[in-house]
Amino acid sequence: MENEGKFRVSCEAASAGCFRAVTESLSVHIGQRVRSEGREDTEIWDSVLITCAQSEDGSLEVQIRAFHPDCDEGRSIALIRSRPDHNDIAAPTLTFELGQTHDEIA
Protein backbone atom coordinates (compact mmCIF):
# COMPACT_ATOMS: atom_id res chain seq x y z
CA MET A 1 0.00 0.00 0.00
CA GLU A 2 1.36 3.44 -0.98
CA ASN A 3 3.03 4.97 2.09
CA GLU A 4 0.68 2.85 4.28
CA GLY A 5 -1.67 5.80 4.95
CA LYS A 6 -5.42 5.44 4.64
CA PHE A 7 -6.07 8.78 2.90
CA ARG A 8 -4.19 11.21 0.68
CA VAL A 9 -4.85 14.93 0.34
CA SER A 10 -3.43 17.32 -2.25
CA CYS A 11 -4.22 21.02 -2.00
CA GLU A 12 -3.20 23.75 -4.39
CA ALA A 13 -4.00 27.22 -3.09
CA ALA A 14 -2.82 29.60 -5.83
CA SER A 15 -0.28 32.05 -4.40
CA ALA A 16 -0.37 30.42 -0.94
CA GLY A 17 1.33 27.28 -2.29
CA CYS A 18 0.51 23.60 -2.16
CA PHE A 19 0.25 20.87 0.45
CA ARG A 20 0.30 17.08 0.06
CA ALA A 21 0.06 14.42 2.75
CA VAL A 22 -0.75 10.76 3.30
CA THR A 23 -2.42 10.21 6.67
CA GLU A 24 -4.68 8.02 8.81
CA SER A 25 -7.51 10.59 8.97
CA LEU A 26 -8.11 14.20 7.98
CA SER A 27 -10.49 17.12 8.05
CA VAL A 28 -10.63 19.96 5.50
CA HIS A 29 -12.69 23.12 5.96
CA ILE A 30 -13.38 25.21 2.88
CA GLY A 31 -14.59 28.75 3.39
CA GLN A 32 -15.75 31.41 1.01
CA ARG A 33 -16.49 35.10 1.36
CA VAL A 34 -20.19 35.86 1.96
CA ARG A 35 -22.27 38.93 2.72
CA SER A 36 -24.98 38.37 5.32
CA GLU A 37 -28.41 39.74 4.49
CA GLY A 38 -28.78 43.36 5.57
CA ARG A 39 -25.06 43.86 6.26
CA GLU A 40 -22.42 45.79 4.37
CA ASP A 41 -19.40 43.87 5.61
CA THR A 42 -18.40 40.38 4.50
CA GLU A 43 -16.91 37.37 6.25
CA ILE A 44 -15.34 34.05 5.37
CA TRP A 45 -17.95 31.34 5.98
CA ASP A 46 -16.92 27.67 6.23
CA SER A 47 -19.37 26.30 3.68
CA VAL A 48 -17.89 22.82 3.17
CA LEU A 49 -16.34 20.31 5.55
CA ILE A 50 -14.70 17.14 4.28
CA THR A 51 -13.84 14.51 6.89
CA CYS A 52 -12.04 11.23 6.31
CA ALA A 53 -11.79 8.44 8.88
CA GLN A 54 -11.95 4.71 9.39
CA SER A 55 -15.34 3.50 10.62
CA GLU A 56 -15.92 0.89 13.32
CA ASP A 57 -16.42 -1.85 10.70
CA GLY A 58 -13.03 -1.07 9.13
CA SER A 59 -14.32 0.68 6.02
CA LEU A 60 -12.77 3.99 5.04
CA GLU A 61 -15.23 6.88 4.78
CA VAL A 62 -15.09 10.31 3.19
CA GLN A 63 -18.00 12.51 4.22
CA ILE A 64 -18.82 15.86 2.60
CA ARG A 65 -21.00 18.28 4.58
CA ALA A 66 -22.35 21.64 3.41
CA PHE A 67 -23.14 24.57 5.72
CA HIS A 68 -25.30 27.65 5.21
CA PRO A 69 -25.22 30.75 7.44
CA ASP A 70 -29.00 30.55 7.95
CA CYS A 71 -28.88 26.97 9.31
CA ASP A 72 -27.57 25.79 12.66
CA GLU A 73 -26.44 22.39 11.41
CA GLY A 74 -24.66 21.23 8.30
CA ARG A 75 -26.12 18.83 5.79
CA SER A 76 -24.32 15.68 4.72
CA ILE A 77 -24.37 15.70 0.93
CA ALA A 78 -22.13 12.71 0.18
CA LEU A 79 -20.64 9.67 1.89
CA ILE A 80 -18.05 7.67 -0.03
CA ARG A 81 -16.88 4.31 1.35
CA SER A 82 -14.13 1.86 0.47
CA ARG A 83 -13.20 -1.46 2.03
CA PRO A 84 -9.54 -2.00 1.15
CA ASP A 85 -9.16 -4.91 3.60
CA HIS A 86 -12.26 -6.75 2.33
CA ASN A 87 -11.28 -9.97 0.52
CA ASP A 88 -14.39 -10.28 -1.67
CA ILE A 89 -13.16 -9.41 -5.17
CA ALA A 90 -16.78 -9.07 -6.33
CA ALA A 91 -17.45 -6.29 -3.78
CA PRO A 92 -17.59 -2.75 -5.19
CA THR A 93 -14.39 -0.71 -5.03
CA LEU A 94 -16.27 2.38 -3.82
CA THR A 95 -19.84 2.95 -2.70
CA PHE A 96 -21.54 6.34 -2.83
CA GLU A 97 -24.44 7.74 -0.84
CA LEU A 98 -25.45 11.03 -2.42
CA GLY A 99 -27.94 13.47 -0.96
CA GLN A 100 -28.57 13.78 2.73
CA THR A 101 -26.99 10.83 4.53
CA HIS A 102 -27.57 9.68 8.09
CA ASP A 103 -24.06 8.43 8.84
CA GLU A 104 -21.72 10.64 10.80
CA ILE A 105 -17.94 10.45 11.00
CA ALA A 106 -16.72 11.40 14.44
Q: Report how far residue 78's alpha carbon sits from residue 55's, in angstroms, rounded to the nearest whole number.
A: 15
Helix (H, G, I), strand (E, B) or coil at 15: helix
The pLDDT of residue 3 is above 70: no
pLDDT per residue over 25-41, tens digit each? 999 999 999 987 777 88
Domain positions in the chain are 25-98
Q: Report how far residue 62's alpha carbon sits from residue 8's, in angstroms, rounded to the nearest whole number.
A: 11
pTM of the model: 0.81
Per-residue burial over 70-81, b if 16 or more Cβ lie within 10 Å, else e, is eeeeeebebbeb
The pLDDT assigned to 1 comes to: 44
